[in-house]
Structure 1
Amino acid sequence: MKPEDLEQLLNTPMPFGKHQGTMIADLPANYLHWFAREGFPKGHIGQLLQLMHEIDHNGLHGLLAPLRRS
């Protein structure tokens, strides 16, 4: 993980699916868990979804709070 990845979670919209247009940082936990069970997409979006799942699963939403304020 690179520091800019956290910022990308806040600024990258989900490009497809049920939550298309929602910023990755704002995706519901159950959607992230579904990807964890079924498999993350390949490429950069998949990496961001996996990172967001880890943040959500481990209760680390506080990492994003300072970036939301700026």
Structure 2
Amino acid sequence: MDENQQFLLDLAKAKMPFGKFKNQYLIDLPEHYLVWFKNQGFPKGKLGLQMASVYELKLNGLEDIIKKLQ
């Protein structure tokens, strides 16, 4: 399995670790919440990268890719 495949599998299992949507899958976060983070700045590290990826997937209507992996 290559790095991209592993990233997508990890993304499918990733949950929000804090805040109003704590323990919710990142792919299920509301779009307005992700837009807010996009404007304010995503968190540093892996979580930020995953949230930015979810934002891009939702923006392009591709969240089903992740949902199928769940």
Settle same-fold status: TM greater than 0.5.
Answer: yes
Q: Which runs of 5+ in 1 are unaligned?
A: none
Equivalent of residue 59 in structure 2, options 50, 57, 60: 57
Q: Deviations over 1:24-69 (max 9, x none)?
A: 111111111111111000000000000000000111123224313x
Rounded to whole Å, the distance in 1 between the matches of 2:67 and 2:19 is 26
User: Residue 46 of structure 1 is aligned with which of 40, 43, 48?
Assistant: 48
CA RMSD of aligned residues (A): 1.5
Structure 2 residue identity aligned to 1:30? H
Offset of residue 23 of structure 1: 0.9
Query: How many residues are matched?
Result: 68
Mean CA deviation greater in 57-66 or 9-18: 57-66
Closer, same or farther: CA 13–65 of 1 in aligned 2, 3 Å: closer
The answer to whether residue 23 in structure 2 is matched with residue 17 in structure 1 is no
Identity %: 37
The alignment's TM-score, normalised by the length of structure 2, stands at: 0.84
Which stretches of structure 1, 4 residues or longer, exceed 3 Å deviation after superposition?
none
* TM-score, L = length of structure 1: 0.84
